[in-house]
Structure 1
Amino acid sequence: MIVVSSHGEKDEEKAKQECSSGCCELKHIQELIRHYTTPGVAPPSARMIPDVKVDHKPDFRLWHWWKYGWFVASKATQMTGDALMHTIWGPRKKSWGIQMTLMSSLMRNAGQHTDLMDVPSIRLFMGMGGMGPAPPDALVTPVTFHVKKRRLRGIFEEYDRQETGKRELSGEWVVGKRTWNRLQTEWKAAQIGERGSHTFAKKTERVMLYIHGGAYYVGSASEKRVISVPLAQYTDSRVFSLDYRLAPETHFPGPLHDVVIGYFRLIDDLHIPPENIIICGDSAGGGLSLALLMYLRDNDYPMPAGAILMSPWVDLTMSGESWDSNAQYDVIPVFSPKDHMNPIANYLGDNIDRYLMHPYASPLFGDFKDLPPLLIQSGDSEVLRDEIALLAHKAELAGVNVRHELYQDGVHVFQTFPFLEVWSRSFMAMHDFVRNTLHHLQRECPRVLADKAERSMEKEIDTHAALVISADGTETSVGVEGAKASLLDEDGHEMADSHCLNCGRRQDSTWSSSSETDVESEEEADIKISVVPPSADPSPPITRSNTEDDSEVIPLSKGLKRVSSATSISSILTDSPPTLSKSLRERSRTLHLASPIADRRRQSRSRSRSPFRRPLTPEVARQVESWSWHFWSG
């Protein structure tokens, strides 16, 4: 690089310094990634080590009640002070409202008061209100099924032999009202077609397997409807939200075993083609989702179309610097490694020395080769920020198609806070990934669901156990017949999802209108995004013997539209080691979502493409940004 000074003289020394600085930063990122290439060897910055000895919860005495009073008083004082500072000097983060300020204040330093809590008390607290009221306009159907032998291979071979068919797992189907009405219309049209009256063209359907988070020891499908409902609405998909066993009653790999069972139930029992399934998970559920993908690949099982990971927890060693730098902003309690409430110790149990860096427990230590496309979303104010950034770049170097979106002022799993400005942008990005982008990247085209698959899901969703979440957030158990009445307005017309009012999508009089249209129309951008699929595997796709293939294959459409939101593109410098092939350089891109107030940072398209660098701290995030080119669009 040669830099020309204002006097027209070539400043070669300055150019060399900038080039050297960029190369050193990239080498440091690569060195950090190398710390996660050897399972069993902890990174030097690990806060959780294999031989840690966890303390037991101290016995409660009657005179300990004063601690609760002191905690409430001190926390009330802290929240009052933060509210006053927010009002007088402004929010601690630029886009935060008073709600986010108070939420951050409530959770700050909560990990220092674990002598007042235990796992059952936290579950009770979470179960009382969940993560807040569920978004309106959805149909939810609880489901319970028996776990049967699946002839699983690998780490679950012995676990599979022990299944007798008596153990039960549960979950729930979540369908947005718009999607449900469309499906009702299609099912009726299909029945008419069977009688020879009409011909009916089916639509390619996506089915989501959602794995909730909760630090492996709290949370449930019903408590995370704040995510599963808008996920179903924005992607126009049916979502199956799984309840897996929790720690400390069940240790690793038990929860992952349940997730594997849930996946095979979709493709084997409900006859849903794997290429139509998208895995989605947040926090611990994001880690389980990534572990599921690696298990399927390692044991030659059919892979899903892709995965959406929201703030995935992928490093149980807690090695990222952001665990310290963002602790004052994030909503995650940071526990001492020896604390009895440490979720890692509860999850791994007595085998913490054996499994702490196992790729299925800490996916960042795994090999990401041959994984399907990933959409990774994280916030720049969460404690997991650094490990998620390393996850995205490590996956890119392995040849995986990755879209990494870093949301300014976003906390851990900010998708659970609808009052944040970035909330709707996040789900709009999921819509774009699922409806407009994924089918260009996946190896196998999604199919039109066979009648057997449609009937299986219809049988599970349309039952007397169905719940309707009305416009005011009230949950009513009305059954399928009551649901049909609830989905119509006074004039008998189908009603649209409430989120359409917020995301800017046009509301149609009926929900059967195509959802394949863009979230927002947009002129062709100056920046061309060329995403090349991973190198094609010459071998035929792996299928299971009991997976039926009687569906029509939808041809792959051409073209790839850019994400319809302000983005920046992070590309690995091609002149820095290691040397990357041309195809890998094309694949090695990370998309970082811009500020929620990006309209204040617009740039003219006539402006030259000079690098715009926004330094972030700590070091990992700063270096990730420093070797990125940023282009802002309105």
Structure 2
Amino acid sequence: SIVTLLRDYDCPGVLPASARIDRNLKATNGFTMKVWDAWKYPVFAFNRASSLALDVISHHVWGPRRKSWGIEMTIITSLMRDVSRHSALADIAMVRKAMDIGGLVPLPSDALVTPVTFRVSKRNLRGILETLDAMEDGTRELSGEWIIGKKLWQSLQSDYKSTHQPVPYMEEKIDYDLRKGQSRVILYIHGGAYYSSSAAAQRMLTIPLSKYSNARVFAVDYRLAPETVFPGQLHDVVNTYFRLTDDLRVPPENLVVAGDSAGGALCLALLLYLRDNGYTLPGGAILFSPWTDLTLSCESWDTNAGYDIIPTPGPNAHLHPVVMYLGDGLEQYITHPYASPLFGKFDGLPPMLIQCGDAEVLHDEIVLLSHKATLAGVQVQLETYEDAVHVFQAFPFLNVATTAFLSCREFVRHRLAHIQRNMPQVLDNFTESCLENDTDNDNVRVVRGDGVETNLGWQEVQDHMAREVDDA
């Protein structure tokens, strides 16, 4: 039963008997390729091409591996299947470049994106982050980007101008009702196994999330492994959260934290850290295929390995995401709730929308997470999508991706306000001014319908948007 399975995750420090990772693995010194090993690359390419050809033929002759798959999913899963067995052919730089190929896919249209760089402040953080916080001197910088759907941006511009005019009380009350649906801010934490990807690379997720939820989205670029190890990534996420709540004055109850894969785990780690150290929690969380168990102990790592797009990490330390993320602290932190949230206690956490596919290797641990949180009294909305793979929301050609974002809209715009602990507030003029200064400047750019971003500058963006309104 579920309760029996959850007992394996009640004791941080003790690996489940089914763990698929050796806690004695150590980080390697790096990638070394000899000249005479060059022949391995064309062999790898030939094997991939042969496998792809066979899968395509099989798809058309005998049908897809999962009944609802189109040819696109057959091709994508064929290219990714078992790729970890060839990790010796690459280093971290090559993997990151390969992951960035996803950025060549046309992006969703109708959004404004503003890159932001900010200094990391010393915030007198407590707990596991106290030492890292003490090392900050105000010179280190983090970056990220604001993503705002065009319709929301136009509405915010109109609303911001109107609220800076003297109005009688009754008109102000009407304005309150109009503004409260635009007061959500989403902090988005990207995935990528802790060692790859970026805020910009995940616009396939953040742009639809802003458009469907009618919310401003801030996606942060936290430091990546192996250059930074746990809990450095959590430190960056916590600092970003407090920049939104303390510096920009966004009320915590207006915030929703969201993330995919490793980013989903960092969302949970953020929630656990805030609760454990007495900080105010956000209003809710949206988790796309969160990676919650670094011990790789659940059965779906085997049963879904033939279908999913993320490969099972290899048996050695080279390019092993867990080894790179935890570094020399692997044995100490492998079951720490901030690294493997499935081992945590979820009492007092805010409502969560959790989405996963039944064909992904993380399926079982996500189901266990949802049950464990529900048993702890958390309002959990778990959605499992048939035949869907890891972070399927990033594939716009899938109908279920649209369904998933529609569910996000319902959760953020309607359901969450009724089940979260404190009602979201209408953002006051000071907060709106802070957000406008952060988003509306000469760094803003428009994402066109063909996915190309144009660095137009603030005035040209205003003119561009005004023309769109006139043409509508």
TM tier, smaller? over 0.9
> Is 1:106 paired with 2:79?
yes
Alpha-carbon distance between aligned partners in 2 of 1:254 and 1:390, rounded to the nearest angstrom? 27
Equivalent position amino acid for 1:103 in 2 = I
Equivalent position amino acid for 1:249 in 2 = E
8 Å CA contact 1:192–1:198 kept in 2: the answer is no
Greater Cα shift, 113-122 or 139-148:
113-122
What's 2:212 paired with? 234
Equivalent position amino acid for 1:201 in 2 = D
Equivalent position amino acid for 2:131 in 1 = E
What's 2:199 paired with? 221
Deviation of residue 474 (structure 1)? 1.4
Tell me the SS of whatever aligns to 2:146.
strand
> Is 1:305 paired with 2:283?
yes
Deviation of residue 175 (structure 1)? 0.0
Deviation of residue 154 (structure 1)? 1.0
Task: Normalising by structure 2, report the TM-score.
Answer: 0.96
8 Å CA contact 1:111–1:335 kept in 2: the answer is yes
Greater gyration radius: 1
CA distances 1:376-401 after superposition (whole Å, capped 9, x unpaired): 00000000000000000000111100
Equivalent position amino acid for 1:147 in 2 = V
Matches within 5 A, 1:309-348: 309-348=287-326
What's 1:34 paired with? 7
CA distances 1:124-148 after superposition (whole Å, capped 9, x unpaired): 2233542733211100000000011
CA distances 1:105-158 after superposition (whole Å, capped 9, x unpaired): 000110110111111111122335427332111000000000111111111112
Deviation of residue 188 (structure 1)? 1.6
Alpha-carbon distance between aligned partners in 1 of 2:158 and 2:27, rounded to the nearest angstrom? 56
CA distances 1:38-58 after superposition (whole Å, capped 9, x unpaired): 000011100113223455556
Matches within 5 A, 1:267-282: 267-282=245-260
8 Å CA contact 1:91–1:101 kept in 2: the answer is yes
Equivalent position amino acid for 1:427 in 2 = F
Query: Gapped runs of 5+ residues in structure 2?
Result: none
Please, which of 237, 250, 264 is the counterpart of residue 286 of structure 1?
Answer: 264
> Is 1:191 paired with 2:142?
no
Matches within 5 A, 1:523-538: none
CA distances 1:547-569 after superposition (whole Å, capped 9, x unpaired): xxxxxxxxxxxxxxxxxxxxxxx
Matches within 5 A, 1:97-496: 97-130=70-103, 132-193=105-166, 199=172, 201-202=175-176, 203-204=179-180, 205-489=183-467, 492-493=470-471
Question: Alpha carbons of 1:270 and 1:491: their partners in 2 closer, same or farther (altered >3 Å)?
Answer: closer
Tell me the SS of whatever aligns to 2:115.
strand
8 Å CA contact 1:131–1:224 kept in 2: the answer is no
Alpha-carbon distance between aligned partners in 2 of 1:56 and 1:479, rounded to the nearest angstrom? 44
Q: CA RMSD in A?
A: 1.7
8 Å CA contact 2:115–2:143 kept in 1: the answer is yes
8 Å CA contact 2:258–2:287 kept in 1: the answer is yes
8 Å CA contact 2:31–2:90 kept in 1: the answer is no
8 Å CA contact 1:209–1:279 kept in 2: the answer is yes
Alpha-carbon distance between aligned partners in 2 of 1:243 and 1:128, rounded to the nearest angstrom? 18
8 Å CA contact 1:100–1:420 kept in 2: the answer is no
Tell me the SS of whatever aligns to 1:113.
helix
Equivalent position amino acid for 1:269 in 2 = D
Matches within 5 A, 1:15-94: 28-53=1-26, 59-94=32-67
CA distances 1:197-236 after superposition (whole Å, capped 9, x unpaired): 9746131210000000000000100011110100000000
Structure with greater contact order relative to length (CA < 8 Å, sep ≥ 6): 2
Tell me the SS of whatever aligns to 1:35.
helix
Alpha-carbon distance between aligned partners in 1 of 2:469 and 2:406, rounded to the nearest angstrom? 30
Greater share of residues in helix: 2
CA distances 1:326-368 after superposition (whole Å, capped 9, x unpaired): 1111000212242311100000001101000001000000000
CA distances 1:384-428 after superposition (whole Å, capped 9, x unpaired): 000000000000111100000000011001111111121100000
CA distances 1:172-212 after superposition (whole Å, capped 9, x unpaired): 00000010010011012112336999746131210000000
Equivalent position amino acid for 1:102 in 2 = I
Deviation of residue 480 (structure 1)? 2.0
8 Å CA contact 1:209–1:239 kept in 2: the answer is yes
CA distances 1:306-335 after superposition (whole Å, capped 9, x unpaired): 000000000000001110111111000212
Number of aligned residues: 467
CA distances 1:517-571 after superposition (whole Å, capped 9, x unpaired): xxxxxxxxxxxxxxxxxxxxxxxxxxxxxxxxxxxxxxxxxxxxxxxxxxxxxxx
Query: Gapped runs of 5+ residues in structure 1?
Result: 1-27, 495-634
Question: Alpha carbons of 1:42 and 1:445: their partners in 2 closer, same or farther (altered >3 Å)?
Answer: same
Tell me the SS of whatever aligns to 2:165.
helix
Task: Normalising by structure 1, report the TM-score.
Answer: 0.72
Equivalent position amino acid for 2:348 in 1 = D
8 Å CA contact 1:375–1:404 kept in 2: the answer is yes
Equivalent position amino acid for 1:154 in 2 = G
Alpha-carbon distance between aligned partners in 2 of 1:195 and 1:484, rounded to the nearest angstrom? 29
8 Å CA contact 1:42–1:49 kept in 2: the answer is no
8 Å CA contact 2:26–2:323 kept in 1: the answer is no
CA distances 1:446-469 after superposition (whole Å, capped 9, x unpaired): 001011110000011111010100
